[in-house]
Structure 1
Amino acid sequence: MNEHQLLGASLGSLVGLILALTGAGGGILAVPLLVFGLGLTMTEAAPVGLLAVGLAAWVGALLGLRQGIVRYRAAGFISGIGILMTPLGLWLAHQLPNRPLSFGFALILLYACLRIYRKASHHLQHGQPVARAAFLPCVLNPQVGRLRWTLPCARSLAATGVFAGLLSGLLGVGGGFVIIPALTRYTDLDMKSIVATSLAVIALVSTGSVMAATVSGAMHWAVALPFAAGAVAGLVVGLQAARYLAGPRLQQVFALAGFVAAALMVYKALA
């Protein structure tokens, strides 16, 4: 392994660690690390980041399946629509110059980190998560422990799949910052089930995006494999440390790091 691959593996392990400690939305920092750490363009970094985030998400999703907390029908429905949308996002990414892609990613990163910071601050001040809406289109059937599938529920989950798939192909993000808020807003699932279901969607959508990138020749495997291997190793270590380190304070630190990364993305695009 040469120095470039070793650096990629180290950056990947950082992504896996962030994923384990901050939740499914932590993988959004994969692309900035690839852009600044390895000097890739947005179109080069997106599929590499997706491979790493997708593999790490598979680990979390399989653990959730073992615990019985993944709502696999909802995950399959959302990811099925997302996989259909990823080729469109990938095509758009190759049509747009690097500068607007960087600006777009920076805006998405700012939104995701602002939401994480506000949620963590609310938890620190009030000791409880933000209250949910009075009407939830997707609710669990207590008799069978599964979601009741209604037209409003299917419509809400379908919209989630569209956004997750499009952003996955366009910007190389797993979509946890879209899926987790959507499942929180539209369902009455507890947070453990929401995170596990989100990881299952990320794993499936990322797999579809990686396959599409491979077919189109956009995947740089020499960079992707060490980076992805590092992400999985970092996730495994992070899952062990999460019981001691994870919490709202750490999520605030992650959000602040995301603000800095977004500012650097904008600066590099302008420079």
Structure 2
Amino acid sequence: MISLAQLLTALIGAVVGLVMGLTGAGGGILAVPALVYTHGWSMQQAMPVALLAVTSAALIGALEGLRRKLVRYRAAILMALSGSLPTVLGVHIAHRLSQQWLMLVFALILLFVATRLILQLRSPECNDAKRAALARINDSTGRFEWSLKTGAVIASIGGISGFMTGLLGVGGGFVIVPMLRHYTNASMHTAVATSLLVISLVGAMGVGSAVWNGASLPLVLSAVFVATTIGGMLMARRIAARLPARQVQMIFAGLLLCVAASLVLRIAG
């Protein structure tokens, strides 16, 4: 017989998958607090379960993005490689921080990222092809114009997202998507698809590192969570293809603000 915990896990997984498919991120930033609230887990307990589901669903979404030629796979691989060591460092630091400090850091980062995304949407130079960028995608080839500067920008994004993956137990997409949008001329749809590939690569390293450091994964709940997250992801990728990029970006920013507010209220309470 299905337990209440399994039903809640399935519901959370479906919502997380939907959000990931629409925004290229948001999976971990929703999954971790949701598991903490509904199951009474600590953030350290919720992180590996959330990251396993997010990583699995991201792989499915990345394959769909590759089929549609939206993924900039060279950039994704560079970000994943440059994020590998910072991911391990983040896991080590997470195990040495208190629950309150982790939640506070999480909330502050989300508020900062959401604010930057909203300001970007309000800017008259929001057009991807025209706005200035440190690393540019060639309009005719659809690929990055690779140089030392481009490589440094992409590697830096990967390093920061990798550290956040290990520290907060999230896929890193909430860092990758806004940074790709800010420092490159990638469209929102390209940023989302590329982010999903990075999440699948870096997230796998994060799960391995967490297990290596003694994290336990409840078998049944983890399996339910992974399956429903993948289902939500597949549904959302069909919806995302029909939404304007600006609308997807606004949904992402609004989501970040909601999660940040809930964490602040939990800390205050």
Q: Offset of 1:233 from its aligned partner?
A: 1.1
Q: Offset of 1:251 from its aligned partner?
A: 5.7
Q: Offset of 1:132 from its aligned partner?
A: 5.8
Structure 2: which amino acid aligns with 1:51?
A: L
TM-score (norm 1): 0.85
Which piece of structure 1 moves more, 200-209 or 260-269? 260-269
Matched-pair contact (CA < 8 Å) for 2:129–2:185: no
Q: Offset of 1:209 from its aligned partner?
A: 0.5
Q: Give the 3 Å change call, closer, same or farther, for CA 174–240 of structure 1 in structure 2.
A: same
Once the two structures are superposed, residues 66-90 of structure 1 have per-residue CA deviations (whole angstroms, 9 ceiling, x without a partner) of 1222221111111011122111100
Q: Give the 3 Å change call, closer, same or farther, for CA 248–218 of structure 1 in structure 2.
A: same
**Alignment counterpart, residue 201 of structure 1, candidates 195, 198, 202:** 198
Which piece of structure 1 moves more, 39-48 or 96-105? 39-48
1:235 aligned residue: 233
Q: Give the 3 Å change call, closer, same or farther, for CA 17–127 of structure 1 in structure 2.
A: farther
Which piece of structure 1 moves more, 133-142 or 188-197? 133-142
1:111 aligned residue: 112
The CA distance in 1 between the partners of 2:252 and 2:143, in whole Å, is 33
Where do residues 82-161 of structure 1 align in structure 2 (5 Å cutoff)? 82-119=83-120, 122=122, 129=127, 133-140=131-138, 142=140, 146-161=143-158
Structure 2: which amino acid aligns with 1:87?
A: V
Q: Offset of 1:137 from its aligned partner?
A: 3.3
The CA distance in 2 between the partners of 1:185 and 1:114, in whole Å, is 12
Q: Offset of 1:114 from its aligned partner?
A: 3.1
SS at match of 2:26: helix
Q: Offset of 1:255 from its aligned partner?
A: 4.2
Q: Provide the alpha-carbon RMSD of the alignment.
A: 2.8
Which piece of structure 1 moves more, 7-16 or 248-257? 248-257
Q: Offset of 1:185 from its aligned partner?
A: 3.3
Q: Offset of 1:181 from its aligned partner?
A: 2.5
Q: Give the 3 Å change call, closer, same or farther, for CA 127–151 of structure 1 in structure 2.
A: closer
Q: Give the 3 Å change call, closer, same or farther, for CA 156–58 of structure 1 in structure 2.
A: same
Structure 2: which amino acid aligns with 1:26?
A: G
Would you say 1:183 and 2:174 are equivalent positions? no
Q: Offset of 1:166 from its aligned partner?
A: 0.4
**Alignment counterpart, residue 173 of structure 1, candidates 162, 170, 173:** 170
Q: Give the 3 Å change call, closer, same or farther, for CA 109–96 of structure 1 in structure 2.
A: same
1:15 aligned residue: 16
Structure 2: which amino acid aligns with 1:199?
A: L
Which runs of 5 or more residues in structure 2 are unaligned?
Answer: none
Q: Offset of 1:46 from its aligned partner?
A: 1.7
The CA distance in 2 between the partners of 1:134 and 1:112, in whole Å, is 19
* Ranges of 4+ aligned residues in structure 1 off by more than 4 Å: 116-120, 126-133, 243-257
Q: Offset of 1:16 from its aligned partner?
A: 0.8
The structure that is helix-richer by fraction is 1
The CA distance in 2 between the partners of 1:248 and 1:65, in whole Å, is 22
Q: Percent identity?
A: 40
Q: Give the 3 Å change call, closer, same or farther, for CA 102–127 of structure 1 in structure 2.
A: same
Q: Offset of 1:270 from its aligned partner?
A: 3.8
Where do residues 33-52 of structure 1 align in structure 2 (5 Å cutoff)? 33-52=34-53
Q: Offset of 1:38 from its aligned partner?
A: 2.0
Q: Offset of 1:51 from its aligned partner?
A: 1.5
Structure 2: which amino acid aligns with 1:56?
A: A
2:72 aligned residue: 71
Once the two structures are superposed, residues 185-233 of structure 1 have per-residue CA deviations (whole angstroms, 9 ceiling, x without a partner) of 3333343322211111111111110111122221423333222211111
2:210 aligned residue: 213
